Structure 1
Amino acid sequence: MNTEATAREAERAIVDEFAYFGDWTERYQYLIDLGRRLPPLPPELMTEEHRVHGCQSQVWLVAEGDARRLEFRAASDSAIVSGLIALLLRVYSGRSAEEILATEPTFVQAIGLAQHLSPTRSNGLAAMLKTVRAHAERALAAA
């Protein structure tokens, strides 16, 4: 459940939060803490159908709703990737398909994630974003 009214507001709040941390050790720890707070994904949803391909870690992402409002739930077997999921859900879950598609993940660059993620984690983040956008596109097409 998002407390921010828009995806852009969620991104600004994330950027503000990460600005509090002086170095990347603290930022990684914050990411891990965010991931630990994700609600668990029921094992019956951890299926091939919901698996995000392109991630080195195991990632499952479930979309529910329609073009007016899409809710996402997700999980990973990696602590840092779980934190990345928490950020993505904060920005994109509970939004309309149009807002999801109109919102580029500017927070990734703004907080320095782009420079500090390993290539495999960057690829995984891109795969998760692509999956979220694909769900939004399908919801719009079905509307």
Structure 2
Amino acid sequence: MILPANAQQALEAFGQCPGWEQRARLLMQWGDQLAPLNDAERCAANRVQGCESQVWLLAERDGAHWQFRASSDARLLRGLLALLLARTNGLTQTELAQLDLPAWFTQLGLARHLSPSRSNGLQAVLARMQQLLAAADQGSSAH
């Protein structure tokens, strides 16, 4: 599967980090680049269940491709979300279903630094993406 441009940039940037401290700093910089969500978007309907921190996720379809926006109250998690979005934005529903999230964070050199709860939280975000896509499919087939 071809990587989106942002994902390729992430791989190159994180590949140049010699250790965890540099990766953590880069992770927070990526998180700072996330477009902020407004108060209306930070509502219960957009909240991802299964995350210890508060995480909000929105999805929009652009033809066959999906664009996601996300935010969190936790700075490190915002960085992880930014990397997740770099990997998922612009994919089709089929490509999203085939995404191996643990492999992506392993490629970035971050997997072994993810606590089980952070790993589970990221899986919850990916599951929520799938739910949003399935709901959009049902909505479009109902018309």
Report the TM-score, using the length of structure 2 for normalisation. Answer: 0.84
| Aligned partners of 2:15 and 2:109 also within 8 Å | no
Which one-letter code corresponds to 1:83 in the other structure?
Answer: G
State the 1:134 CA deviation.
2.3
Which among 64, 71, 75 is matched to residue 67 of structure 2? Answer: 71
User: How big is the alpha-carbon RMSD for the aligned residues of Structure 1 and Structure 2?
Assistant: 2.2
* Aligned equivalent of 1:131: 128
Q: Is 1:100 equivalent to 2:96 in the alignment?
A: yes
Identity %: 35
**Highest RCO, 1 vs 2 (Cα 8 Å, sep ≥ 6):** 1
Gaps of 5+ in 2: none
Change (3 A) 1:20 1:109: same
**What is the SS of the residue equivalent to 2:37?**
coil
Which one-letter code corresponds to 1:23 in the other structure?
Answer: G
Work out the CA distance in 1 between the residues paired with 2:112 and 2:89. Answer: 25
State the 1:126 CA deviation.
1.2
Work out the CA distance in 1 between the residues paired with 2:13 and 2:121. Answer: 23
Which among 111, 117, 120 is matched to residue 120 of structure 1? Answer: 117
Change (3 A) 1:124 1:13: same
* Aligned equivalent of 1:34: 30
Report the TM-score, using the length of structure 1 for normalisation. Answer: 0.84
Which among 71, 86, 89 is matched to residue 90 of structure 1? Answer: 86
Change (3 A) 1:113 1:25: same
Work out the CA distance in 2 between the residues paired with 1:136 and 1:101. Answer: 10
| Aligned partners of 2:59 and 2:132 also within 8 Å | yes
**What is the SS of the residue equivalent to 1:43?**
coil
Work out the CA distance in 1 between the residues paired with 2:8 and 2:97. Answer: 18
Change (3 A) 1:35 1:78: same
Gaps of 5+ in 1: none
- CA deviation profile, 1:87-128 (whole Å, cap 9, x unmatched): 111111222212211222222122232210122211111111
Work out the CA distance in 1 between the residues paired with 2:59 and 2:129. Answer: 8
- CA deviation profile, 1:63-92 (whole Å, cap 9, x unmatched): 122671221111100111000110111111
Number of aligned residue pairs: 139
| Aligned partners of 2:14 and 2:109 also within 8 Å | no
**79-88 vs 116-125, which deviates more?**
116-125
